[in-house]
Amino acid sequence: MLLTATGHAQVAPAGAGPESARPAAPVGWSVTVGVAPVLSPAWQGSRDMTLSLFPDLRVNYGDILFASVPDGIGWNAINEGGWRAGPLAKIRFGRDENDGGSPFLIAGGSDALVGMGNVTAAGEVGGFVEKTFGPRREWRVRGEVRQGFGGHQGLVADASVSYRMRVGRSSVSFGPRATAASADFMQTYFGVDAGQSLRTGLVPYRVGGGLLSYGIGGAVVRPLDRRNVLTLFTSFERLGGAPAQSSLIRDRGQRNQFTLGLGYGFRFGL
């Protein structure tokens, strides 16, 4: 589970790495179940690290429909010539002021959000487009745009480039990524209003839209046999200038964010 999944006010990262690193889905329905311990910041921008145990459930219908926590629910409405595009829906876990908010937390936590109030879970609906190319289609460029509802009302846009190669039986992928967000999103997670300032002592901060984060991520996928697979995944991201200037981040958080996880999955057909 990836990019940035993880119970820290991002779309949850989970058991497998980027989509480009996974083996092609078989014809018909297939289901993958697994689990992934993930070491990550307690919330996006946190300096406190937590350990969460994420369940991993994936359902695919051939190369047409897909559903999982990290990739969301989507349809490859266009799927030819290395192009894929279609509608997409994702969930973003909420943020709890008492411990950071991961619903799968097993160790660690953060009290830096006390007084900031809770942020409920949010749905995000939009679309994606990606292109694979190269002699073995080892390169992938992908973009997503999603509108939030519920916990935040903002617009979120993701862009990534990844390169995949084989190392023995393993598949290795890595590349840069960046996320931009509207002012509504930024204010929800990084703004400090008058009430929050009074409760926390933080300087009020009104943040506009712009670059949310940028960084690099990678994954190593190691099949154990035809049905079992292990995935080691990691990412390093840095908050953009606007969120990094928030008094919440300057006084209680940090700009650099690191995630490390190991996932196990078992796949079977229906």
Question: Is the confidence at residue 128, as pLDDT, over 50?
Answer: yes
Interval 234-249 mean pLDDT: 98
- What pLDDT is recorded for position 26? 55
pLDDT at residue 174 greater than cutoff 90: yes
Strand 105-108 to strand 49-61: parallel, antiparallel, or no bridges (unpaired)? antiparallel
Which tens digits make up the pLDDT trace of 203-223? 999 999 999 999 999 999 999
Give the model's confidence band at 18: pLDDT under 50 very low, under 70 low, under 90 confident, else very high: very low
Residue bearing tokens 């078992």: 266
> Tens digit of pLDDT for each residue in 62-114?
999 999 988 899 999 999 999 999 999 999 999 999 988 788 999 999 999 99
Q: How far apart are CA 107 and CA 147, in angstroms?
A: 32
Report, as an integer, the average pLDDT of 170-182: 98
Are 136 and 166 within 8 A, CB to CB?
A: no
Q: List 86's β-bridge partners, or say none.
A: 128
20 has a pLDDT exceeding 90: no
Give the pLDDT band of residue 12 (cuts 50, 70, 90): very low
Q: How far is it, in rounded angstroms, from Cα 199 to Cα 149?
A: 26
What's the pTM?
Answer: 0.88
Q: Is the pLDDT of residue 225 over 60?
A: yes
Backbone angles phi, psi at 194, to 5 degrees: -65, -40
Q: Please report which helix (H) or strand (E) contains residue 211, including its range.
A: strand 210-223
Q: How far apart are CA 188 and CA 196, in angstroms?
A: 12
Residue 88 pairs with which residues in a beta bridge?
74, 126
pLDDT value of position 270: 75
Asked whether the predicted pLDDT for residue 61 surpasses 90, the reply is: yes
With contact defined as beta carbons under 8 Å apart, do 10 and 41 qualify?
Answer: no
Q: Please give the Cα distance from 1 to 6 (Å, whole number).
A: 8
Give the closest residue to 210 by CA, choosing from 156, 137, 153, 258.
Answer: 156
CA 167 from centre of chain: 25
Please calculate the CA angle 120-159-3 and round it to the nearest 5 degrees. 50
Give the burial string for 62-95 (b: 16+ CB within 10 Å, else e).
Answer: eeeebbbbbbbebbbeeeeeeebbbebebbbbbb
pLDDT, mean of residues 19-42: 77
